[in-house]
Amino acid sequence: MDARRTHTGWRAATLAVGAALAVMALATTGWAQDGADAPAAFDGPIASATDALWVIIAAVLVFLMQPGFMAFEVGFVRPKNTMVTAFKNAGDWLIVSVMFVLVGFGLMFGPTISGVVGSGLMPASFPFEADPWFWAFVLFQLAFAGTAATIVSGAMAERTSFLAYLVVSIGIGALIYPVFGHWAWGGFYFAEDAGGWLYRMGFIDFAGSSVVHGTGAWAALAGVIIVGPRLGRYDRDGRRAELGTNSVMWSCLGLFLLWAGWFGFNGGSVLAFDASVPLIVLNTNVAAGIAGIVGVIHCLTMQRGRDLEAKVLGCVLGGLVAITACAHIVTLWSALAIGAIAAVVHNVTYELVLDRWKLDDVVGAVPVHGFCGVWGILAVALFGTDLPHGRLEQLGVQALGAATNVVWAGGVAALLFLTLRAFASLRVPGMSEIRGLTLSGIVRPDDSSLDANADELLAAIEAEAELHEQEELARAGLTFRR
């Protein structure tokens, strides 16, 4: 029954995606023909070929974060699920490459409609005679959108269907990321445009601690809550069990690819190759370095070394996420402080999410990209220079932006996940989870080498099924006894 439902879901999703693409093609063509809606001319701030080249190089560096995320996640999942994990990271780039260009970019950077969403900048109305930098910027923002989408896959790994992840990638690339991005960054493009409502308030998120990383993290949090933990992850008393990983070497490789990509992520967000770029890149690096050092010390001294390997990797990434919001307006000493605090934020929230809340975030995406992202947004007001408001007022604006990011990204993603759970296939069948995920959803043949704990997981399935049956009978006012 589960397999039939999965295949039905695939057919429905294929038809839905095809219909959506057709509607979007007609819509963008129609918008282009409407001279009132299409922007008359691009009014970007840059015309230098050197600047355009730098933005393209930065976009390539950000794109390298895709294999970085893939390697990082492949290291944390079990060997039986490495293939699907890798393909999920490829799949989100395929989806976002189309959806963001067709829909998302215009919603994000088109002339604003009441500060809520952009309009009139769809592919058919792109200014094809614009400065080459325009096209470099489209590519750069596409790489950002892909980063936001791929964060979700690691958190929900090893039990979420491939179909569900692709559908959520569509939602992130075409709606969730572009709309919040417009609120925070939408006033950048056209000089006469007032921009999104957060932009108007003076909200600062230089390279996307909230716009990119928070969006991916809070969407992932919604997914982790709704899909539930992996089989056997928590016992009946709520204690977290170690299910094993593939190889920490893969995760370390992913870390270095992500670290290198971040130089383009933050350095490229200047959108010009000017005198500010070197310090921005240096701030990025030292925040990550000190975060790793402080993270090790904090874990060993305050947390008895629990999950040390995962926390070291996560602290480095958390430092990178935190500095992303403010790398352009802080000193080197401030960058060190921001990275150090990010390490503590990561380690504390790592145990909060996995042990207190009992949420099975496989790669620790929510502590890294969510909570460290919030810290980075608040750090703008605490450490930044040349702020549009006084520090206290700026702190209020930053807090409002961070809270809005949580509600928007988490809320819309939750609606998508709940819809998938009700009408399609959000979670794979139990036997697929035991034997290893496949792209098609078909349960692979039994192979005892795939999981040494297969017997324990089978017992976990039976216990979980019994628990669900008890809950259903309780709702019906009946009792259950064996």
CATH classification at residue 61: 1.10.3430.10
Residue numbers of the domain that contains 477? 452-482
Same domain for 113 and 259?
yes
Which of these ranges, 93-107, 112-126, 386-400, has the smallest mean pLDDT?
112-126
Q: Residue 304 burial (CB < 10 Å; 0-12/13-18/19+)?
A: exposed
Predicted pLDDT at 472 = 53
Predicted pLDDT at 125 = 62
Which amino acid appears at position 207 of this protein?
A
42-60 pLDDT tens trace? 444 445 788 889 999 999 9
The owner of tokens 């000193």 is 331
Average model confidence (pLDDT) across the chain: 85
443-463 pLDDT tens trace? 555 554 444 455 555 566 556
Task: Look at residue 122 and tell me if it is in a domain.
Answer: yes
How far apart CA 168 and CA 104 sit, in angstroms, is 14
Boundary (domain end) residue, out of 385, 403, 423: 423
Domains held by the chain: number: 2
Per-residue b or e along 133-151, where b marks 16 or more CB atoms closer than 10 Å to that residue's CB? bbbbbbbbbbbbbbbbbbb
How far apart CA 93 and CA 82 sit, in angstroms, is 18
327-350 pLDDT tens trace? 999 999 999 999 999 999 999 999
Helix (H) or strand (E) holding 375: helix 372-383
DSSP assignment letter at 429: -
Predicted pLDDT at 474 = 61
370-408 pLDDT tens trace? 999 999 999 999 999 999 999 999 999 999 999 999 999
Same domain for 468 and 402?
no
The model's pTM is 0.85
Residue whose C-alpha is closest to residue 106's, from 13, 29, 201: 29
Boundary (domain end) residue, out of 403, 423, 443: 423
150-198 pLDDT tens trace? 999 999 999 999 888 999 999 999 999 999 999 999 866 665 567 899 9
Q: Which two tokens stand for residue 409?
A: 């990204």
Bigger pLDDT: 480 vs 201 = 201
Task: Look at residue 354 and tell me if it is in a domain.
Answer: yes
In sequence order, the 6+-apart residues with CB closer than 8 A to the CB of 442 are 3, 432
| % of the chain with per-residue pLDDT over 70 | 78
Task: Look at residue 179 and tell me if it is in a domain.
Answer: yes
Residue whose C-alpha is closest to residue 348's, from 378, 379, 318: 318
Predicted pLDDT at 385 = 94
Query: Is the CB of residue 361 less than 8 Å from the CB of residue 220?
Result: yes
Q: Residue 18 burial (CB < 10 Å; 0-12/13-18/19+)?
A: exposed
